[in-house]
Chain A
Amino acid sequence: SQQGEEDPQALSIQEGENATMNCSYKTSINNLQWYRQNSGRGLVHLILIRSNEREKHSGRLRVTLDTSKKSSSLLITASRAADTASYFCATDLAGGTSYGKLTFGQGTILTVHP
């Protein structure tokens, strides 16, 4: 079963607006990573946030992590049509020999209208 669940499943906004996607997970993690995937293509790495971090920024991206609630959010500010893609969160579970294996959610489909 999938560890992470993204919310919403689909998001449609106008260019210039902000987009917020949420991810919830079930078990303790070492880190959480966000990826973007354009239709039919590979995944592009956006941000990694470690379990002892609460917030990270990269350009127009802001990621928060709340380990007490087992949730993360990805904020894209001043969105552009080129941001249209599917966004996935992926968790690196704590412990054992699975260190480094990622468990993905089903993704949020973001559509940014020009």
Chain B
Amino acid sequence: DTGVSQDPRHKITKRGQNVTFRCDPISEHNRLYWYRQTLGQGPEFLTYFQNEAQLEKSRLLSDRFSAERPKGSFSTLEIQRTEQGDSAMYLCASSFGRGTEAFFGQGTRLTVV
């Protein structure tokens, strides 16, 4: 059981740089979600995919953020021109079908200096 895998676990970047995170969902799961969590808060929804289709994007996802899920397998989340306010834990989750449990990865902690 490999679970949801995220890479890297930690990323420190300078303001203005671009960063990309990767998520590998549980293999049979067709739905993939990205969330962002700041200290002391619950996770906030960013976007989700059903297979390769991006079905919903939160207003939190500015134009500097882009997510892809080519071929409906792994997903990447890219942040361009990072800002200090982007510092957070970025969590990926996957689920199979509608109304089922969503399983989370360990997250990527981003620090923008």
Contact = CB atoms under 8 A, between A and B. Distances in A.
B58 to A, nearest CB: 9
Contacts, number: 71
B27 to A, nearest CB: 17
Interface string A27-53: 000110101000011111100101000
Contacts of A4: 42
B99 to A, nearest CB: 5
A80 B99 CA distance: 31
Interface in B74-113: 89, 91, 93, 95, 98-107, 109
Interface in A88-106: 88, 90, 92, 97-106
Given A43-B43, A104-B42, A99 B104 contact: no
A59 B46 CA distance: 33
Interface in B20-59: 31, 33, 35, 40-45, 48, 55-56
A2 interface: yes
Contact of A100 (B33, B89, B104, B106): B33
B75 to A, nearest CB: 15
B104 A101 contact: no
Contacts of A105: 42
A29 to B, nearest CB: 10
Given A42-B106, A43-B91, A100-B33, A92 B48 contact: no
Contacts of A40: 89, 109
Contacts of A43: 43, 91, 93, 104
A103 B45 contact: yes
A98 B104 contact: no
Given A42-B106, A43-B91, A97-B55, A102 B101 contact: no
Contacts of B35: 102, 104
Q: Which 4 A-B pairs have the closest CB atoms?
A: A104-B42, A42-B106, A43-B104, A42-B104
Interface of A: 2, 4, 30-31, 33, 35, 40-45, 48, 50, 88, 90, 92, 97-107
